[in-house]
Structure 1
Amino acid sequence: MTLAAPQVSVIIPCYEGEAFIADAIRSALDQQDVTLEVVVVDDASPDGSASVVEGFLDTDHVRLLRRRRNGGIAAARNTGICSAAGEYIAFLDQDDLWYPGRLSKAVKILDNDKDIGLVFGNETTRSFATGANETSRLRPPADINCRSRDAVLAALLQRNFIPTAASLVRRTCFNELGLLNESIRSGVDDFDLFVRIAGRYKILHIDELQAVRRIHGRNYTRLQRMVPDMLEILETAAAARPAVASVAGHARGQYLYLLAKEQHLEGRYDEAIASYWRSVKAAPPNFVALATMLVCAFGPAGNVPLSILRKTNRWLRRRGS
């Protein structure tokens, strides 16, 4: 029997996800009021992930694709997208979960407004070790649905507020904008996609809890890897839409400052000073970064009283006003 094309294709990239993947698949299959397919992409995982997924293949709603070589999460997602039959694409990582009913409202919104390219909800984070939930920092400005396209893009460049597991993307966005950037290996390929969509389509926020991002030691990304990719994304967005160039410059300074702090805390003082200085030169000038750079020049931050940093920062702000 030939099944009707699904409304939603759920793309789950999998690499060393044996301990998590079954829960993710079940949470996708528990969705109601929509027709869907679950496309699991095994990214040449060396563990038993594929065997776990094979236990779900007796249902017509789950497919397993195998990559011969590991290509990273963006490549795995692209493999799933290219094979997808749904009108809409939803991303679910192997260690994340969905709340029941998470897709139905988003599908209705996309069905009713062809100018919307992406709909997203809220997520909570959960420790895989303890099961404790925490409120996610990925929350948009309260008036995000009332802002112009440029204003939405500007807000997104300053701070990513779109949880990947709580997003739903119109399939035609990929036809127009291209697939995920496989050269990005730091885990921000999804942010790059969201920025491109926000520059071309309307996006809409649903203020309800839709996804759980489970936190464990293996899904932590160091800023040292992430920041260079973020800077490239900002530069590309600013070049494409000059209206957000100043905001992109400010965001560049903030990301460089975060990188410098990581380097500083790890005792890599020469690298930290260089990153602080790059942050200072970003527009507008980052006086906090300049103050911290001066402290870093004296050695470990722990050897300098915090009061000195605060006084230096206040002095620099007065000088800059």
Structure 2
Amino acid sequence: MKSPKVTVVITTYNRPGLLERAIRSVLNQTYENFECVVVDDCSSTHKPQEITQKFTDNRVTYTRHEQNMGLSAARNTGIEHSDGEYVAFLDDDDVWKEKKLEKQIDLFERLEDKYAIVYCWMNYRRHTDEKIINEYCPSHDGNIFSKALEGQPIGSGSTLLVRRSIAKNTKFDVDIDRGIDGDFIRRVCQEYYVDYVPEILVEYYVEHGKDRITSQDESGIRDAISGHKIKFDKFSTELNAHPQCASRILAKIAYHYAQLGEWRMSVKYYQKALSTSPTTVTVYRSILSSIKAGIDHYGHR
């Protein structure tokens, strides 16, 4: 029986030096029935195209946005260009280990149709010295929607293998800047199950001096607030059925406002969190953390 085809979508923007490494990690896969679609989100130079064309393997193709549209739009373009039975995503600064696709396909082909995603574990690896600074090894499988409601329980987009038909129907939300992977997984998991390969098969690089979304600056914090608020727009019915989860999300919003020094908004959302579920212990811990942050802030003025 012929092995199913996988479409690998590599999204890139102004990181040509990292792109070559990502493509090479795809071409080094032991699983061979794939196409690799490089989507350039309107980089300021044509170096990504030049790098892609260095590879003579006809499984590698290149497409370019005429304007910068963001990660979600770039992944959606890759999905639209795909014709594999499965779709996998790889950010240009991440790297796959050689058996990543092989092991995920082997598992996927043994699963029922209600399974939409197979993920794997990953290393957080520092770019500057290749040091592993953390291993991320979640073990969530089956129906994980209640876990996905609150956050991102299963890792980055680079760990995912998804049934193409489901990825095409779901797509990534182009209206959000933060929590893109979590939002996609959350919407898929409303109807489908997930499983995982219990092995580190992705190197997720950090601290390379390039853009990674971070919660440490004001823009990142405001994106985080927006991402949490969107959950109440998209999943209001589900959150009403999970008040403790809703309370924890409201507390996260409150804490982020405290990080910004916007105490009135922080208090407002803590009040909402407590009225939603007065017995959720993590809300009280978050309040204490916010108070400490405020004391430290004003103590150093």
Among 194, 202, 206, which residue is 1:203 paired with? Answer: 194
CA shift at 1:128, angstroms?
A: 1.2
Partner of 1:310: none
Of 24, 27, 30 in structure 1, the residue corresponding to residue 28 of structure 2 is 30
Identity of aligned residues (%): 23
Which residue of structure 2 lines up, in the alignment, with residue 121 of structure 1? 120
Partner residue in 1 for 2:106: 108
Structure 1 residues 243 and 273: CA distance shift in structure 2, 3 A: closer
| Other-structure match for 1:46 | 44
Inter-partner Cα distance in structure 1 for 2:159 and 2:296: 43
Name which of 184, 189, 209 aligns with 1:193: 184
Hey, what does 1:75 align to over in structure 2?
Answer: 73
| CA distance in structure 1 between the partners assigned to 2:294 and 2:159 by the alignment | 43
Structure 1 residues 291 and 15: CA distance shift in structure 2, 3 A: same
How far the C-alpha of 1:18 sits from its partner, in A, is 1.1
- In structure 2, give the amino acid aligned to 1:262: Q
CA drift at 1:55:
1.1
Equivalent in 169, 182, 204 of residue 213 of structure 1? 204
> Which residue does the alignment assign to 1:172?
165
> Could you tell me whether the CA contact under 8 Å between 2:258 and 2:294 is conserved in 1?
no
Kept in 1: contact 2:255–2:287 (CA 8 A): no
Q: CA deviation at 1:258?
A: 4.3
3-state SS in 2 of match to 1:155: helix
Q: Distance in 1 between matches of 2:113 and 2:150?
A: 27
Within the alignment, does 1:154 sit opposite 2:146 as a pair?
yes
Structure 1: give runs of 5+ residues left out of the alignment: 264-268, 305-321
Q: Deviations over 1:19-76 (max 9, x none)?
A: 20000000011111341111000111013222212212x2111000011011000001
Q: Tell me, yes or no, if the aligned pair for 2:38 and 2:78 is still in contact at 8 Å.
A: yes
CA drift of 1:89 comes to 0.6
Paired residue secondary structure (2:91): coil
Give the Cα separation in 2 of the matches to 1:172 and 1:252: 31
SS at match of 2:123: strand
State the TM-score, normalized to the length of structure 2.
0.85
Q: Which region of structure 1 is more displaced relative to structure 2, 47-56 or 24-33?
A: 47-56
Alignment map for 1:1-321 (pairs within 5 Å): 7-47=5-45, 48-56=47-55, 58-112=56-110, 113-136=112-135, 138-140=136-138, 142=139, 144-145=140-141, 149=143, 152-163=144-155, 164-176=157-169, 178-186=170-178, 188-215=179-206, 216-217=208-209, 218-221=211-214, 222-239=220-237, 241=238, 244-263=241-260, 269=261, 271-282=262-273, 283-285=276-278, 286-294=283-291, 300=297, 302=299
Residue 65 and residue 249 in structure 1: after superposition, are their counterparts in 2 closer, same or farther (change >3 A)?
Answer: same
Partner Cα separation in structure 1 for residue 148 and residue 172 of structure 2: 18
Q: Return the offset for 1:279.
A: 3.2
Letter of the structure 2 residue corresponding to residue 260 of structure 1: Y
Q: How far is the alpha carbon of 1:295 from its aligned partner?
A: 5.4
- With normalisation by structure 1, the TM-score equals 0.80
Q: Is the 8 A contact 2:244 2:277 kept in 1?
A: no
- In structure 2, do the counterparts of structure 1 residues 299 and 258 end up closer, same or farther at CA, with 3 Å as the change threshold? closer
Moved more, 204-213 or 153-162: 153-162
Q: Which residue type is aligned with residue 211 of structure 1?
A: V
Shift of 1:297: 6.2
Q: Contact 1:42–1:49 (CA<8 Å) still a contact in 2?
A: yes
Question: For residues 278 and 67 of structure 1, do their structure 2 counterparts lie closer, same or farther at Cα, with a shift above 3 Å needed?
Answer: same
- CA deviation vs aligned residue, 1:260-298 (integer Å, no higher than 9, x gap): 3532xxxxx2x1452354134213352234345555666
Q: Within 1, Cα distance between the matches of 2:167 and 2:63?
A: 20
SS in 2 for 1:194: helix
CA positional deviation for 1:134? 1.9
Distance 1:139 1:279 in 2: 31
Note the residue ranges of structure 2 that are not aligned, 5 or more in a row: 215-219
Change (3 A) 1:54 1:115: same
Larger Rg: 1
How far residue 13 of structure 1 moved from its aligned partner, in angstroms, is: 0.9
The separation in 2 between residues aligned to 1:180 and 1:300, in whole angstroms, is 37
Instruction: Provide the alpha-carbon RMSD of the alignment.
Output: 2.5
Q: Is the 8 A contact 2:255 2:286 kept in 1?
A: no
